[in-house]
Structure formats: structure tokens, C-alpha cells
Amino acid sequence: MKVSLGLVTVHEMKIQEFLDLAWKRYTQITPDAAKIAHLLQERGENVINDHIAFRTFNRKGLGRNELGQFFQGWGYSACEDLIFEEKKLKATYYTHPDETLPKIFISELILENFSQDLQNWVGSLTTLRANTAIGKETFLESSWGPVSFTDYNRFYFESEYAAWTAAFGIQVNHFTVLVNGLKSFKGIYDLNEFLLKEGFTLNASGGLVKGIPSDLLEQSSTMAIRMPVQFREALREIPSCYYEFAQRYPVPGEGKLFQGFLPKNANKIFESTHRLK
Ligand code: NI
């Protein structure tokens, strides 16, 4: 339920309650994230979320700007648009005046850059959802019915992003630990070493750490593990979601931590839901 006051929409659910429910849903299919958060808490850490990310398609009724409007109802504002040429994606991230709240990162697949077959598949899958008003359910409940595993496999090779989003719907794709907020690690390299020792698999595409301090952002992530998903045919195990880690650096001359994102890092991070060879 939401109440509209002129241009401003006020949600009845508090943002923290939404984030808690989103975390609960995410950790059900991302057990590594729950384990890591628990390990960090055992070390006395208070985990701060840098951002949470959603994936969608650029279809009317479901596009990134339309999904983003929902977060504007909680006081978020659109900060910057990003283009990921290689992955044929666009993204927008949203920031909140309360800096303890995570940024919301929403990416969308530019469907017209793909085959007519893929467009038709996504089109039929998303029709009902695209014609339903956007609310908290859009992010917290199943987006559409199970897809065919044959289709998932067929379109996986054209766009892993399309296949993932078709299989999982519009739910959180990853939460992100703000490494700057951790007290017991020297930085992201130290944290990665700890995670590897604990037996987690990290995304090694382009090196474990994406970015360098002069980029003002360094990122790493786990590789999504395979979880059972209901397909039309049967339950099948496919890579689900990953947990991301971000270390931010102060913007020269400003002193404040850089709050943006870097497409060249993110291109590699997106691959955290790929199948391990
Ligand atoms: Ni991210």
C-alpha cells in the first residue's frame, strides 16, 4: 500500500523493514552471504550495506526508471545513469540523504540489442508483471511463473543476464559490504584473504579485486553458488546471487568518499552469476 501526496509517494512500509525482508529473501538463495555476514559479526563487525542491486529489462512498466520511482517514495534520488556497452545494459543508482542507507543500483537489459526470439521470450514472460503497479511486492515476491529450463539454457548463451533475470525475477541480485565500515580488516585484500581461507569462492574475472585506489573504488565478490530453482520441467540447480565487497576512497579535494560506480569494474562483477567453467 502506498499513499500519494501530490508528486511524492509515501510508503507505509519503512525502508528498513523492506531491506530486512529483501535480505531475508536474498539469503535464502545466497547462503554464502548469510554465512559471511555471520562470520563478520562474530569478529565484532557491524556490517554496513554499500548498495543493493536489482536486475530488470527495459520494458515499459518494468524499466529501471520506473522501478527507481518506487525508491524515490522513500526519499531516494536518482544520482547518475551508467551505460555498460559490452553487456548491453543501462543502470541508474539512487542515493538517500541518510547515508547509513544503502544506495539502490538498478540495471536493465536493452532488449532491442538482442535476437527477436529472446525479445519474444522476455516479452511473454513479463507481460503480466509489466501491467501491474510497482509496489514492494515487485521486489519481494515472485515476479512471474517458472520459465522453461530449455529456454533458460538456450538464451543463457545469448545473455546470461537475461537468463538470470528470467529465472529469478526482480529480486535483489546482490547486497554489498562497505569494506570501509569494517574495523578488523586492513582493507579489501585482507578481507578477500580471510574469505578464501574460510573456503568461499571469489570472482576471479580480471583479478580478485576490480579497480585500483586511484579509481576511488575497489570491488570484489563471491561467485554465485548453484541453488535449486523451480523450472517448468523440474527443479534445477543454477547459479543464484553473489555477495559483493566495496572499498571506497575519498574524492580528491572533497574529502568525502566517492559514491559512484565504474562500468569497467562492474562489467566483471556482473559475471559473478556466471557458471563456473
Ligand atoms: Ni554492485
CB 191 within 8 A of CB 183: no
For ligand 1, the distance from its centroid to the CA atom of residue 273, given in whole angstroms, is: 12
- The alpha carbon of 234 and the centre of ligand 1 are apart by a number of angstroms equal to 31
- Which has the closest alpha carbon to 74: 17, 131, 130, 25? 17
Kindly give the distance from the C-alpha atom of residue 215 to the centroid of ligand 1, in angstroms, as a whole number. 15
As a whole number of angstroms, the distance between CA 8 and CA 11 comes to 10
For the full predicted model, state whether its pTM sits above 0.85.
yes
| CA gap 111, 123 in Å, rounded | 9
Contact 18, 24 (CB under 8 A): no
Separation of CA 3 and ligand 1 centre (Å)? 30
**What is the Cβ-side half-sphere exposure of residue 90, based on CA atoms within 13 angstroms?**
14
Between the CA of 75 and the centroid of ligand 1 the distance, in Å, is 21
Q: For the chain, how big is the Rg over CA atoms in Å?
A: 18
Residue 22 CA to residue 189 CA, distance in Å, equals: 28
Distance 51 CA to ligand 1 centre (A): 7
Find the distance separating the first CA and the last CA of the chain, reported in whole Å: 44
Residue with cell 543476464: 161
187: alpha, beta or left? (left if phi > 0; alpha if psi -120 to 50)? left
Q: If you measure from the C-alpha of residue 63 to the centroid of ligand 1, how many angstroms do you get, rounded to a whole number?
A: 18
Strands 49-57 and 103-109: what pairing?
parallel
Q: Please tell me the distance between residue 6's alpha carbon and the centre of ligand 1 in angstroms.
A: 33
Please give the grid coordinates belonging to residue 11. Answer: 510508503
5 CA distance to ligand 1 middle (Å): 32
Q: How far is the CA of 145 from the centre of ligand 1 (A)?
A: 26
* Residue 52 Cα to ligand 1 middle (Å): 7
Residues 6+ apart with CB under 8 A from 233: 148, 149, 150
Contact 26, 36 (CB under 8 A): no
Distance 169 CA to ligand 1 centre (A): 17
> pLDDT per position in the chain (277 positions), as tens?
445 544 456 688 899 999 999 999 999 999 999 999 999 999 999 999 999 999 999 999 999 999 999 999 999 999 999 999 989 999 999 999 999 999 999 999 999 999 999 999 999 999 999 999 999 999 999 999 999 999 999 999 999 999 999 999 999 999 999 999 999 999 999 999 999 999 999 999 889 999 999 999 999 999 999 999 999 999 999 999 999 999 999 999 998 999 999 888 877 888 888 887 5
* Predicted local confidence at residue 264, as pLDDT: 81
Task: Give distance in angstroms: CA of 124 to centre of ligand 1.
Answer: 28
Return the closest-CA partner of residue 178 out of 220, 236, 132, 129: 220
**CA angle at residue 254 from 251 to 260, to 5 degrees?**
40
**In sequence order, what are the beta bridge partners of 174?**
53, 242
The C-alpha atoms of residue 276 and residue 225 are separated, in whole angstroms, by 9
Alpha carbon of 261 to ligand 1 centroid (Å): 8
Question: Apex CA 24: angle with CA 81 and CA 199, to 5°?
Answer: 90
- Quote the ligand 1 centre to 268 CA distance (angstroms): 10
d(CA 147, CA 195): 34
Q: How far is the CA of 120 from the centre of ligand 1 (A)?
A: 28
Instruction: Tell me the C-alpha distance between 236 and 245, whole Å.
Output: 28
